[in-house]
Amino acid sequence: MSERIGQIARHLNYPKGLLAGQVAIITGSGQGIGAECARLFANEGAKVVVSDIDGPKAEEVASKIRSSGGEALAVPGDLLKDGYIKELVRKAAEFGNGKIHIIVNNAGFTWDAVIHKMTDKQWDTILSLHSTVPFKLVREAAPYFRVKDGEPRNIVNISSTSGVHGNAGQANYAMAKAGVIGLAKTIAKEWGPSFGVRANTVAFGHIETRLTANKEAGAFVEVDGQKVALGIPEKQKKSAGPVPYLDIPLRRPGTATEAASAVLAVASPLSSYISGQTISVTGGRNI
Ligand SMILES: NC(=O)c1ccc[n+]([C@@H]2O[C@H](COP(=O)([O-])OP(=O)(O)OC[C@H]3O[C@@H](n4cnc5c(N)ncnc54)[C@H](O)[C@@H]3O)[C@@H](O)[C@H]2O)c1
Protein backbone atom coordinates (compact mmCIF):
# COMPACT_ATOMS: atom_id res chain seq x y z
CA MET A 1 0.00 0.00 0.00
CA SER A 2 2.68 2.54 1.01
CA GLU A 3 4.74 1.56 -2.06
CA ARG A 4 1.67 2.33 -4.19
CA ILE A 5 1.31 5.77 -2.55
CA GLY A 6 4.99 6.41 -3.28
CA GLN A 7 4.48 5.48 -6.94
CA ILE A 8 1.51 7.84 -7.18
CA ALA A 9 3.50 10.67 -5.55
CA ARG A 10 6.36 10.20 -8.01
CA HIS A 11 3.88 10.03 -10.89
CA LEU A 12 2.27 13.29 -9.75
CA ASN A 13 5.63 15.01 -9.74
CA TYR A 14 6.56 14.96 -6.07
CA PRO A 15 9.95 13.31 -6.60
CA LYS A 16 10.99 13.64 -2.94
CA GLY A 17 7.61 12.57 -1.62
CA LEU A 18 4.29 14.24 -0.86
CA LEU A 19 5.50 15.68 2.46
CA ALA A 20 9.14 16.38 1.58
CA GLY A 21 10.79 18.63 4.17
CA GLN A 22 7.70 18.91 6.38
CA VAL A 23 7.85 18.33 10.12
CA ALA A 24 4.95 16.34 11.55
CA ILE A 25 3.96 15.66 15.16
CA ILE A 26 1.86 12.51 15.37
CA THR A 27 0.44 11.78 18.80
CA GLY A 28 -0.15 8.18 19.82
CA SER A 29 2.23 6.95 17.13
CA GLY A 30 3.83 4.16 19.17
CA GLN A 31 1.42 1.65 17.61
CA GLY A 32 -1.78 1.22 15.63
CA ILE A 33 -2.99 3.92 13.26
CA GLY A 34 -0.53 6.52 14.58
CA ALA A 35 2.48 4.27 13.97
CA GLU A 36 1.29 3.65 10.41
CA CYS A 37 0.87 7.42 9.93
CA ALA A 38 4.46 7.87 11.12
CA ARG A 39 5.75 5.25 8.68
CA LEU A 40 3.76 6.54 5.69
CA PHE A 41 4.56 10.19 6.42
CA ALA A 42 8.28 9.39 6.68
CA ASN A 43 8.11 7.43 3.39
CA GLU A 44 6.80 10.65 1.85
CA GLY A 45 9.76 12.68 3.09
CA ALA A 46 8.37 14.07 6.35
CA LYS A 47 10.48 14.45 9.48
CA VAL A 48 8.28 12.64 11.97
CA VAL A 49 7.97 13.27 15.69
CA VAL A 50 6.73 10.08 17.32
CA SER A 51 4.81 10.99 20.48
CA ASP A 52 3.49 8.25 22.76
CA ILE A 53 3.07 7.43 26.43
CA ASP A 54 4.70 4.06 25.68
CA GLY A 55 8.40 4.99 25.47
CA PRO A 56 9.83 1.72 24.13
CA LYS A 57 7.16 1.52 21.40
CA ALA A 58 7.75 5.14 20.37
CA GLU A 59 11.51 4.51 20.19
CA GLU A 60 10.94 1.36 18.14
CA VAL A 61 8.75 3.17 15.58
CA ALA A 62 11.27 6.02 15.25
CA SER A 63 14.25 3.68 14.96
CA LYS A 64 12.54 1.53 12.28
CA ILE A 65 11.87 4.70 10.26
CA ARG A 66 15.51 5.78 10.62
CA SER A 67 16.81 2.36 9.64
CA SER A 68 14.77 2.48 6.43
CA GLY A 69 16.30 5.84 5.54
CA GLY A 70 13.68 8.20 6.97
CA GLU A 71 13.90 10.86 9.65
CA ALA A 72 12.16 10.42 12.98
CA LEU A 73 12.49 11.48 16.60
CA ALA A 74 10.75 9.76 19.50
CA VAL A 75 9.45 12.08 22.22
CA PRO A 76 7.82 9.77 24.75
CA GLY A 77 5.44 11.16 27.36
CA ASP A 78 1.93 11.34 28.74
CA LEU A 79 -0.19 13.95 26.98
CA LEU A 80 -2.34 14.22 30.11
CA LYS A 81 0.57 15.32 32.28
CA ASP A 82 1.40 19.00 32.63
CA GLY A 83 4.58 19.96 30.92
CA TYR A 84 4.71 17.21 28.28
CA ILE A 85 2.89 19.19 25.58
CA LYS A 86 5.36 22.09 25.98
CA GLU A 87 8.28 19.64 25.80
CA LEU A 88 6.82 17.93 22.72
CA VAL A 89 6.43 21.18 20.79
CA ARG A 90 9.86 22.44 21.87
CA LYS A 91 11.60 19.22 20.81
CA ALA A 92 9.64 19.05 17.54
CA ALA A 93 10.64 22.62 16.67
CA GLU A 94 14.29 21.86 17.48
CA PHE A 95 14.14 18.73 15.33
CA GLY A 96 12.51 20.76 12.53
CA ASN A 97 15.03 23.62 12.66
CA GLY A 98 12.37 26.03 13.93
CA LYS A 99 9.46 24.68 11.88
CA ILE A 100 6.45 22.45 12.46
CA HIS A 101 4.06 21.87 9.54
CA ILE A 102 1.64 19.13 10.56
CA ILE A 103 -0.04 17.92 13.74
CA VAL A 104 -2.03 14.70 13.77
CA ASN A 105 -4.10 14.56 16.97
CA ASN A 106 -4.42 10.79 17.17
CA ALA A 107 -3.56 9.54 20.70
CA GLY A 108 -6.32 7.97 22.67
CA PHE A 109 -8.18 5.01 24.08
CA THR A 110 -11.74 4.21 25.06
CA TRP A 111 -13.18 3.81 28.56
CA ASP A 112 -16.79 2.81 28.05
CA ALA A 113 -19.88 2.72 30.25
CA VAL A 114 -23.54 3.44 29.78
CA ILE A 115 -24.53 6.94 30.89
CA HIS A 116 -26.08 6.01 34.23
CA LYS A 117 -22.96 4.06 35.24
CA MET A 118 -20.24 6.35 33.91
CA THR A 119 -17.99 7.86 36.57
CA ASP A 120 -16.63 11.41 36.59
CA LYS A 121 -13.14 9.93 36.19
CA GLN A 122 -14.14 8.09 32.99
CA TRP A 123 -15.83 11.21 31.65
CA ASP A 124 -13.03 13.63 32.53
CA THR A 125 -10.18 11.38 31.33
CA ILE A 126 -11.68 10.70 27.91
CA LEU A 127 -12.71 14.32 27.35
CA SER A 128 -9.24 15.50 28.40
CA LEU A 129 -7.36 13.08 26.18
CA HIS A 130 -9.49 13.29 23.04
CA SER A 131 -10.60 16.96 23.12
CA THR A 132 -8.63 19.12 25.56
CA VAL A 133 -5.22 17.66 24.62
CA PRO A 134 -5.67 18.41 20.89
CA PHE A 135 -6.69 21.98 21.80
CA LYS A 136 -3.69 22.45 24.13
CA LEU A 137 -1.26 20.99 21.60
CA VAL A 138 -2.54 23.21 18.81
CA ARG A 139 -2.45 26.25 21.12
CA GLU A 140 1.13 25.48 22.17
CA ALA A 141 2.19 25.04 18.54
CA ALA A 142 0.38 28.23 17.40
CA PRO A 143 3.62 30.21 16.84
CA TYR A 144 4.71 27.59 14.28
CA PHE A 145 1.39 27.65 12.41
CA ARG A 146 0.60 31.38 12.46
CA VAL A 147 3.44 32.10 10.05
CA LYS A 148 3.74 33.38 6.51
CA ASP A 149 6.67 31.51 4.98
CA GLY A 150 4.82 30.11 1.97
CA GLU A 151 5.07 26.53 3.29
CA PRO A 152 2.02 24.33 3.89
CA ARG A 153 0.61 23.90 7.38
CA ASN A 154 -2.16 21.60 8.44
CA ILE A 155 -3.81 19.89 11.35
CA VAL A 156 -5.62 16.58 11.23
CA ASN A 157 -7.85 15.61 14.15
CA ILE A 158 -8.80 11.98 14.52
CA SER A 159 -12.45 11.30 15.27
CA SER A 160 -14.75 8.30 15.08
CA THR A 161 -18.16 7.24 13.89
CA SER A 162 -19.01 7.51 17.62
CA GLY A 163 -18.32 11.26 17.41
CA VAL A 164 -20.29 11.73 14.21
CA HIS A 165 -23.23 9.45 14.98
CA GLY A 166 -23.06 8.70 18.74
CA ASN A 167 -22.62 5.21 20.18
CA ALA A 168 -24.35 3.47 23.06
CA GLY A 169 -21.91 3.02 25.93
CA GLN A 170 -19.59 5.77 24.72
CA ALA A 171 -21.11 9.09 25.83
CA ASN A 172 -17.67 10.36 26.93
CA TYR A 173 -15.88 9.25 23.74
CA ALA A 174 -18.73 10.38 21.47
CA MET A 175 -18.73 13.84 23.03
CA ALA A 176 -14.94 14.15 22.87
CA LYS A 177 -14.75 12.90 19.28
CA ALA A 178 -17.54 15.31 18.25
CA GLY A 179 -15.55 18.08 19.95
CA VAL A 180 -12.48 17.72 17.73
CA ILE A 181 -14.67 18.15 14.65
CA GLY A 182 -15.68 21.60 15.93
CA LEU A 183 -12.08 22.32 16.90
CA ALA A 184 -10.83 21.55 13.36
CA LYS A 185 -13.50 23.75 11.78
CA THR A 186 -12.60 26.58 14.16
CA ILE A 187 -8.87 26.31 13.39
CA ALA A 188 -9.76 26.35 9.67
CA LYS A 189 -11.71 29.59 10.19
CA GLU A 190 -9.19 31.28 12.53
CA TRP A 191 -5.90 30.37 10.83
CA GLY A 192 -7.01 29.83 7.22
CA PRO A 193 -7.54 33.42 6.15
CA SER A 194 -4.18 34.97 7.07
CA PHE A 195 -1.90 31.94 7.28
CA GLY A 196 -3.37 29.37 4.88
CA VAL A 197 -3.53 26.71 7.61
CA ARG A 198 -5.81 23.79 6.73
CA ALA A 199 -7.56 21.81 9.45
CA ASN A 200 -9.64 18.67 8.92
CA THR A 201 -10.94 15.67 10.80
CA VAL A 202 -10.70 12.04 9.79
CA ALA A 203 -13.39 9.89 11.41
CA PHE A 204 -12.74 6.16 11.48
CA GLY A 205 -15.16 3.28 11.67
CA HIS A 206 -13.88 -0.17 12.64
CA ILE A 207 -10.11 -0.29 12.17
CA GLU A 208 -8.15 -3.34 13.36
CA THR A 209 -5.90 -2.23 16.23
CA ARG A 210 -5.69 -3.17 19.90
CA LEU A 211 -8.69 -0.84 20.51
CA THR A 212 -10.92 -3.19 18.51
CA ALA A 213 -9.13 -6.50 19.22
CA ASN A 214 -10.84 -9.05 21.45
CA LYS A 215 -10.99 -7.70 25.00
CA GLU A 216 -10.02 -11.18 26.16
CA ALA A 217 -6.52 -10.52 24.69
CA GLY A 218 -5.97 -8.56 27.90
CA ALA A 219 -4.65 -5.21 26.62
CA PHE A 220 -5.06 -2.39 29.09
CA VAL A 221 -3.92 1.13 29.94
CA GLU A 222 -3.46 2.54 33.43
CA VAL A 223 -5.12 5.74 34.57
CA ASP A 224 -3.76 6.88 37.95
CA GLY A 225 -3.04 3.28 38.92
CA GLN A 226 -6.44 2.03 37.71
CA LYS A 227 -6.41 -0.61 34.96
CA VAL A 228 -8.67 0.17 31.99
CA ALA A 229 -9.23 -2.87 29.76
CA LEU A 230 -9.08 -2.25 26.02
CA GLY A 231 -10.84 -4.02 23.16
CA ILE A 232 -14.31 -5.33 22.39
CA PRO A 233 -15.65 -8.46 24.13
CA GLU A 234 -15.74 -11.41 21.71
CA LYS A 235 -19.36 -12.10 22.70
CA GLN A 236 -20.36 -8.60 21.64
CA LYS A 237 -18.66 -9.05 18.27
CA LYS A 238 -20.39 -12.42 17.70
CA SER A 239 -23.80 -11.04 18.69
CA ALA A 240 -23.59 -8.74 15.69
CA GLY A 241 -25.42 -11.44 13.66
CA PRO A 242 -24.82 -14.30 11.20
CA VAL A 243 -23.32 -12.10 8.47
CA PRO A 244 -20.08 -10.57 9.76
CA TYR A 245 -19.84 -6.79 9.47
CA LEU A 246 -23.35 -6.51 8.05
CA ASP A 247 -23.37 -2.79 8.83
CA ILE A 248 -20.26 -2.18 6.71
CA PRO A 249 -20.84 -2.15 2.92
CA LEU A 250 -17.29 -3.43 2.34
CA ARG A 251 -18.07 -6.25 4.86
CA ARG A 252 -14.73 -6.02 6.64
CA PRO A 253 -12.86 -3.83 9.10
CA GLY A 254 -10.15 -1.51 7.80
CA THR A 255 -6.43 -1.98 8.40
CA ALA A 256 -4.25 0.54 10.20
CA THR A 257 -2.49 1.13 6.87
CA GLU A 258 -5.76 1.99 5.16
CA ALA A 259 -6.66 4.34 8.00
CA ALA A 260 -3.25 6.04 7.95
CA SER A 261 -3.37 6.35 4.15
CA ALA A 262 -6.48 8.50 4.50
CA VAL A 263 -4.68 10.72 7.03
CA LEU A 264 -1.75 11.05 4.64
CA ALA A 265 -4.12 11.94 1.80
CA VAL A 266 -5.71 14.70 3.89
CA ALA A 267 -2.32 16.04 5.05
CA SER A 268 -0.78 15.95 1.58
CA PRO A 269 -0.74 18.67 -1.08
CA LEU A 270 -3.27 16.59 -3.07
CA SER A 271 -5.80 17.95 -0.54
CA SER A 272 -4.53 21.54 -0.65
CA TYR A 273 -8.04 22.97 -1.13
CA ILE A 274 -9.72 20.79 1.51
CA SER A 275 -10.25 22.48 4.86
CA GLY A 276 -12.75 22.28 7.70
CA GLN A 277 -14.04 18.89 6.52
CA THR A 278 -14.78 15.63 8.28
CA ILE A 279 -13.79 12.65 6.16
CA SER A 280 -15.34 9.33 7.12
CA VAL A 281 -13.09 6.29 6.66
CA THR A 282 -15.50 3.52 7.44
CA GLY A 283 -15.80 1.12 4.49
CA GLY A 284 -19.12 2.83 3.85
CA ARG A 285 -20.63 2.33 7.32
CA ASN A 286 -23.32 4.84 8.30
CA ILE A 287 -24.11 6.04 4.79
N1 LIG B 1 -9.31 1.47 15.94
C2 LIG B 1 -10.49 1.96 15.62
O3 LIG B 1 -11.40 1.23 15.17
C4 LIG B 1 -10.76 3.43 15.78
C5 LIG B 1 -12.01 3.91 15.34
C6 LIG B 1 -12.28 5.26 15.46
C7 LIG B 1 -11.34 6.11 15.99
N8 LIG B 1 -10.14 5.63 16.43
C9 LIG B 1 -9.18 6.58 16.98
O10 LIG B 1 -7.96 6.44 16.34
C11 LIG B 1 -6.91 6.86 17.23
C12 LIG B 1 -5.81 5.81 17.25
O13 LIG B 1 -6.34 4.61 17.82
P14 LIG B 1 -5.77 3.15 17.52
O15 LIG B 1 -6.92 2.32 17.15
O16 LIG B 1 -4.60 3.22 16.63
O17 LIG B 1 -5.36 2.72 19.01
P18 LIG B 1 -3.99 2.14 19.61
O19 LIG B 1 -4.32 1.75 21.01
O20 LIG B 1 -3.43 1.11 18.70
O21 LIG B 1 -3.00 3.40 19.60
C22 LIG B 1 -3.25 4.53 20.38
C23 LIG B 1 -1.94 5.07 20.91
O24 LIG B 1 -2.21 6.23 21.73
C25 LIG B 1 -1.31 6.18 22.82
N26 LIG B 1 -1.80 6.96 23.96
C27 LIG B 1 -2.89 6.68 24.71
N28 LIG B 1 -2.98 7.53 25.73
C29 LIG B 1 -1.93 8.39 25.63
C30 LIG B 1 -1.47 9.49 26.42
N31 LIG B 1 -2.10 9.87 27.54
N32 LIG B 1 -0.35 10.14 26.03
C33 LIG B 1 0.33 9.74 24.92
N34 LIG B 1 -0.06 8.69 24.15
C35 LIG B 1 -1.18 8.03 24.51
C36 LIG B 1 -1.22 4.71 23.17
O37 LIG B 1 -0.06 4.39 23.94
C38 LIG B 1 -1.21 4.06 21.79
O39 LIG B 1 0.11 3.84 21.33
C40 LIG B 1 -7.57 7.11 18.59
O41 LIG B 1 -7.84 8.49 18.73
C42 LIG B 1 -8.88 6.35 18.46
O43 LIG B 1 -9.86 6.85 19.31
C44 LIG B 1 -9.82 4.29 16.32
CATH number of residue 224's parent domain: 3.40.50.720
Determine the distance separating the centroid of ligand 1 and the alpha carbon of 239, expressed in angstroms: 25
Residue 228 lies in a domain: yes
Q: Which residues of 143-156 are buried (b: 16+ CB within 10 A; e: fewer)?
A: ebbebeeeebbbbb
pLDDT band at 11 (very low <50, low <70, confident <90, very high): low
286 domain residue, yes or no: no
Domain containing residue 144:
2-281
Length of the chain: 287
Q: Around Cβ 262, how many Cβ atoms within 10 Å?
A: 20
Mean pLDDT is lowest, of 113-122, 168-177, 234-243, for: 234-243
Residue 30 is assigned to a structural domain of this protein:
yes
In this structure, is residue 112 part of a structural domain? Answer: yes
Looking at the domain assignment, is residue 232 inside a domain? yes
Range name among 9-23, 86-100, 208-222 with the lowest pLDDT average = 9-23
Distance (Å) from CA 150 to ligand 1 centroid: 32
3-class DSSP assignment, residue 264: helix
How many whole angstroms separate alpha carbon 257 and alpha carbon 36? 6
Average pLDDT over residues 241-255: 93
Which residues are catalytically annotated? 173
Q: Is 287 inside any structural domain?
A: no
In a domain, 257, yes or no: yes
Question: Does residue 119 lie within any of the structural domains?
Answer: yes
Whether 212 shows a pLDDT value over 70: the answer reads: yes
Q: What pLDDT digit, counting tens, does each position of 22-40 carry?
A: 999 999 999 999 999 999 9
Q: Closest Cα partner for 137 from 187, 205, 188, 207?
A: 187
- Which atom of ligand 1 sits closest to the CA of residue 256? 16
The identity of residue 267, as a single letter, is: A
Residues with beta carbon inside 6 Å of ligand 1?
A: 28, 30-34, 52-54, 78-80, 106-109, 129, 158, 160, 204, 206-207, 209-212
Q: What is the position in ligand 1's atom list of the atom closest to the CA of 33?
A: 16
CA of residue 274 to ligand 1 center, whole Å = 25
**Cβ count near 86 (within 10 Å):** 12
Cβ-based neighbour number of residue 73 at 10 Å: 21
Residue 130 CA to residue 191 CA, distance in Å, equals: 21
Calculate how far, in angstroms, residue 110's C-alpha sits from the geometric centre of ligand 1.
8
Shortest-distance atom of ligand 1 to CA 204? 6
227 DSSP β-pair partners: 222
Rounded Cα–Cα distance for residues 135 and 143 (Å): 14
Domain count, the chain: 1
Q: In what order do the strands lie in the sheet with 278-281?
A: 71-76, 47-52, 23-27, 102-105, 154-160, 198-204, 278-281
